[in-house]
């Protein structure tokens, strides 16, 4: 079983419009609702890849109830902890004319000390049956900034491999707790290290405590700095569509590859192919299966140097 943690879950709402024009009224051609938050997206992709997945984190209020209703018929098992506050919504406006997407993210609900303690108890129990755990996304109000560092230490104590995908100070503190894998994007990496040169920044991030670092470079794919070497993997051509959830699909590819003991080049090819196939899908947490199968053998994986 692979456990994914989403402390700031969301109800993802996607609107499609023929063309998005500022200051204008728009007729929406399609509306989609999905249970969202980075870890829930990861879990749905893991399930589609054939892995048993369990989602935990927080859900509350009427929006949280809708999220859990939408999650119920899906493959990931719901182990979300109920809270008094109301789960946030994220709004994606997909522009058919340009192929671009505009994202609006609400703040999350405040989590109390008692709710955090209930989550920690559930998390420790879930770790006992986990082959790996992913810690994903932002922290809701009320959760201390070192929360991911605490969860990493608990996973390491349970001897469960742990992947961290967050940003800002939670990333800085979390990486010092020595997770097995960190997956920042280029902007998160630059804020963490002060460098915008990808290889230098990725090496620096690894020196801060992570066992391995895989940096998302947008249309240029990913750069991995690991104890076994340094690789870059890229799609054969840029893809246009809705990028929401593409990074989460990459996390699913990396985590499933870890559990399956794939080589680093195979893990990276899977991650990049899933990411690109997600851009081509209509909603976050989904990927175009046919595009994925076609892309995997076409991902160029290049070893940059012989040692990390």
* Catalytic residue list: 248
Calpha distance 178→85 (Å, rounded): 32
Calpha distance 231→116 (Å, rounded): 38
DSSP-assigned letters across all residues of 55-93: EEEEEEHHHHHHHHHHHTTSSSEE-PEEESSPPEEEEEE
Token readout for 56 is: 């935990």
Which among 186, 153, 147, 192 has a CA at the least distance from the CA of 170?
147
What phi and psi, each to the nearest 5 degrees, are found at residue 287? -145, 155
Calpha distance 115→138 (Å, rounded): 17
Distances (CA, A) of 267 to 98, 199, 250: 32, 19, 9
Helix/strand/coil (H/E/C) assignment for every residue in 3-55: EEEECCCEEEEEEEECCCCCCCCCCCCEEEEEEECHHHHHHHHHHHCCCCEEE
The radius of gyration of the chain from alpha carbons, rounded to an integer in Å, stands at 18
Calpha distance 287→45 (Å, rounded): 8
What sections of 128-233 are H helices per DSSP?
147-157, 168-176, 186-193, 198-207
């Amino acid at each position: 079983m692979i456990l994914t943690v989403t402390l700031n879950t969301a109800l993802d709402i996607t609107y499609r419009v023929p063309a998005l024009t500022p200051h204008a009224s728009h007729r929406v051609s399609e509306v989609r609702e999905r249970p969202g938050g980075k870890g829930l997206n990861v879990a749905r992709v893991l399930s589609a890849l054939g892995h048993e997945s369990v989602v935990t984190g927080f859900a509350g209020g009427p929006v949280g109830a809708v999220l859990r209703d939408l999650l119920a018929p899906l493959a990931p098992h719901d182990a979300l902890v109920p809270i008094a506050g109301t789960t946030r919504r994220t709004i994606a406006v997909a522009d058919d004319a340009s192929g671009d997407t505009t994202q609006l993210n609400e703040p999350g609900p405040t989590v109390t000390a008692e709710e955090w303690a209930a989550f920690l108890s559930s998390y420790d129990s879930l770790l006992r049956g986990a082959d790996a755990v992913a810690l994903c996304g932002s922290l809701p109000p009320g959760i201390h900034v070192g929360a991911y560092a605490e969860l990493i230490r608990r996973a390491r104590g349970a001897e469960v491999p742990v992947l961290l995908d967050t940003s800002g100070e939670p990333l800085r503190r979390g990486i010092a707790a020595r997770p097995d894998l960190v997956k920042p994007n280029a902007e998160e990496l630059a804020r963490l290290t002060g460098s915008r040169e990808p290889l230098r920044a990725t090496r620096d991030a690894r020196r801060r405590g992570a066992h391995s670092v895989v940096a998302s470079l947008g249309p240029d794919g990913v750069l991995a700095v690991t104890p076994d070497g340094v690789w870059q993997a890229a799609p054969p051509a840029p893809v246009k569509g809705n990028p929401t959830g593409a990074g989460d699909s990459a996390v699913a590819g990396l985590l499933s590859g870890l559990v399956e003991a794939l080589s680093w080049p195979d893990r990276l090819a899977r991650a990049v192919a899933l990411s690109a196939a997600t851009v081509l899908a209509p909603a976050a947490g989904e990927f175009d299966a046919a595009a994925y199968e076609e892309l995997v053998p076409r991902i160029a994986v290049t070893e940059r140097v012989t040692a990390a």
